[in-house]
Amino acid sequence: MNDHTLAAPATVQPPRRPTVRLLLSHPAHVIALGFGSGLSPFAPGTVGTLWAWISFLVLNRYLGPLEMATLLAASFFVGWWACTVTARAMAIPDPGAIVCDEVLAFWLVLWLVMPAGLLAQAVAFALFRYFDAAKPGPVAWADRAFKVPRGQPIGWAQGFGILFDDLVAALCTLLVIAGWRWFWP
């Protein structure tokens, strides 16, 4: 059984580094590794979120609210699949190189705060990166909820968990922005 099947592998492979070769070896890896942004040797989550920001601005010019909502919903399920397949291929429960979770979560943040000026978008970016990287309170809980120790088989729950903590970080970001707008209109 290879690492791209839907069933969890019977034996666990040794951890695999993210490379261009891995990226190009399967469509799920292209998606999970953020079209290469997750291969950054420095702060791949931040680079992936920057890619999300740029790609959202491009998509937002061409997609209406319904199309963007449909894209976000489809991206959740495609991302879940891509995260699961790629984590299995890398034999790491939540590899830092997987950044489609940042992309999906930050697209959600931007979709809900737009229209917004560049400064407001930058604040949303900074808040999201804080919640995603520092993992305070509920984000830390969400990060632990679906983890398995290294060496354990990686299943669909772990693929979901890769997305889940970033979605909680997005929710925290949106709550801070909503509170800020409520108290300082």
3-class SS letters over 81-92: HHHHHHHHHHCC
Pair 53, 113: CB distance under 8 Å: no
Q: What is the pLDDT of residue 3?
A: 46
Question: What does the longest C-alpha to C-alpha distance in the chain come to?
Answer: 57
Q: 18 in helix, strand or coil? A: coil
How far is Cα 137 from Cα 106, in angstroms, rounded to an integer?
19
Q: What is the pLDDT of residue 1?
A: 42
Which amino acid is located at 108 in the chain? L
How far is Cα 154 from Cα 6, in angstroms, rounded to an integer?
11
Higher pLDDT, 11 or 157: 157
Which amino acid is located at 63 in the chain? L
Is the pLDDT confidence value at 84 over 90? yes
Q: What is the pLDDT of residue 14?
A: 84
Q: What is the pLDDT of residue 64?
A: 95
How far is Cα 108 from Cα 104, in angstroms, rounded to an integer?
6
pTM assigned to the model: 0.90
85 closest CA partner among 28, 137, 136:
28
Q: What is the pLDDT of residue 128?
A: 98
How far is Cα 33 from Cα 86, in angstroms, rounded to an integer?
8
- Structure tokens belonging to residue 6: 């839907």
Pair 174, 123: CB distance under 8 Å: no
Average pLDDT of the segment spanning 127-139: 97
Average pLDDT of the segment spanning 70-86: 98
